[in-house]
């Protein structure tokens, strides 16, 4: 193996770049879990206005996600899980198609999103295009070209594994060698997905904020609880919506 000095790579800078990317990936997944999913899509938690604003700006400009479209796609997923009308069922879409969440969001019709998620404010159509570029630009400025790109790749990798991985691995399992398409819990992924991989628990009752059970804790729920205790969020099981059940 070549000594690190020979190939011009500082092990410290390399580690910082990878750690930065992984931390950004985990933060992105946490934001998706506690804001987009449990907050907006299911109305299980309401955040105080300054924090909600902050989450909305980060979702739009850092992750480049159109929140209204994300919620619309998720509500369709609940209404038509594991059928041809499920927008990201591993039964009907390839892994590559499911991983390309950006394309899925871009091509989802505005009118359909408005009909399915009229309660979610529409976000800038510009942000989903340049949003992740803002973060990548900051990484390049902070870490330099090589390490900045490395951190960006780590960010994308962790975000994809923990985000799209839910659709890929939590709706497909094998029984006697045959693929079965239905929601399933993946406890080993619970830490990096902030509990979202406890997916059968979620589908069994989408109004349940705590996705954990007697075998495994839900880290996303713990985060929401901490925010609620700090007065930054209100947990109200009664405000949970059943809207997704009405989606056609
Ligand atoms: Zn699902
Ligand atoms: Zn859901």
- For the stretch 134-166, pLDDT in tens is 888 888 888 888 899 999 999 999 998 888 889
How many residues in the chain?
Answer: 248
Q: Which ligand places an atom closest to the C-alpha of 36?
A: 2
CA dihedral 198, 200, 201, 202 (to 10 degrees): 90
68 CA from centroid of ligand 2 (Å) = 14
Q: For residue 4, how far is its CA from the centre of ligand 1 (angstroms)? A: 44
Tell whether the model's pLDDT for residue 3 goes beyond 80.
no
At 150 the pLDDT is 93
Distance from Cα 82 to the centre of ligand 1, integer Å:
8
CA of residue 78 to ligand 1 center, whole Å: 7
- What pLDDT is recorded for position 43? 93
Nearest to 109 by CA among 97, 119, 117: 117
Residue 170 phi/psi, 5° resolution?
-105, 10
| Chain centre distance of CA 26 | 9
Residue bearing the bigger pLDDT, 23 or 164: 23
Beta carbons within 10 angstroms of residue 139's beta carbon: 23
Q: What is the mean pLDDT of residues 214-226?
A: 95
Structure confidence at residue 7 as a pLDDT band (50, 70, 90): low
pLDDT of residue 132: 79
Distance of CA 30 from the midpoint of ligand 1 (Å): 17
Residues 6+ apart with CB under 8 A from 244: 41, 42, 74, 75, 78, 79, 206
Q: Retrieve residue 9's tokens.
A: 């790579």
**pLDDT computed for residue 240 by the predictor:** 45
Q: How far is the CA of 77 from the centre of ligand 1 (A)?
A: 6
The percentage of residues in the chain with a pLDDT greater than 90, rounded to a whole number, is 65
Distance of CA 114 to the CA centre of its chain: 21
Task: Tell how far the Cα of 132 is from the centroid of ligand 1, in angstroms.
Answer: 25
Distance 167 CA to ligand 1 centre (A): 6
Please tell me whether residue 126 adopts helix, strand or coil conformation.
coil
User: What is the Å distance from ligand 2's center to 207 Cα?
Assistant: 9
pLDDT value, residue 144: 87
Q: What distances in angstroms separate CA 142 from CA 57, 112, 149, 178, 194, one per listed residue?
A: 21, 40, 11, 48, 28
pLDDT score recorded for residue 81: 94
Q: Give the pLDDT score at 237.
A: 57
Lowest mean pLDDT among 50-64, 99-113, 167-181, 230-244: 230-244
How would residue 126 be classed by pLDDT, with cut points 50, 70 and 90?
low
């Amino acid at each position: 193996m070549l000594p690190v000095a020979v190939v011009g790579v500082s092990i410290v800078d390399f580690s910082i770049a990878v750690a930065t990317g992984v931390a950004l990936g985990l933060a992105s997944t946490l934001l998706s879990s506690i804001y987009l999913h449990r907050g907006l899509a299911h109305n299980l938690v309401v955040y105080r206005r300054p924090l909600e604003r902050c989450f909305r700006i980060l979702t739009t400009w850092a992750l480049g996600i159109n929140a209204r479209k994300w919620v619309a796609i998720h509500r369709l997923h609940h209404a038509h899980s594991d059928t041809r009308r499920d927008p990201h069922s591993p039964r009907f879409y390839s892994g590559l198609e499911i991983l390309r969440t950006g394309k899925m969001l871009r091509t989802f019709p505005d009118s359909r999103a408005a009909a399915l998620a009229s309660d979610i404010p529409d976000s800038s159509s510009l942000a989903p295009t340049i949003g992740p570029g803002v973060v990548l630009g900051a990484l390049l400025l902070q870490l330099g070209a090589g390490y900045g790109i490395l951190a960006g790749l780590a960010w994308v990798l962790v975000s994809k594994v923990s985000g799209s991985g839910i659709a890929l691995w939590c709706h497909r399992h094998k029984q006697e060698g045959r693929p079965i398409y239905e929601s399933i819990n993946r406890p080993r992924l619970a830490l990096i997905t902030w509990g979202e991989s406890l997916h059968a628990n979620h589908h069994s009752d989408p109004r349940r904020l705590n996705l954990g059970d007697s075998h495994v804790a839900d880290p996303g729920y713990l985060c929401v609880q901490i925010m609620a205790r700090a007065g930054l969020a209100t947990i109200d099981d009664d405000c949970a919506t059943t809207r997704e059940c009405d989606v056609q």
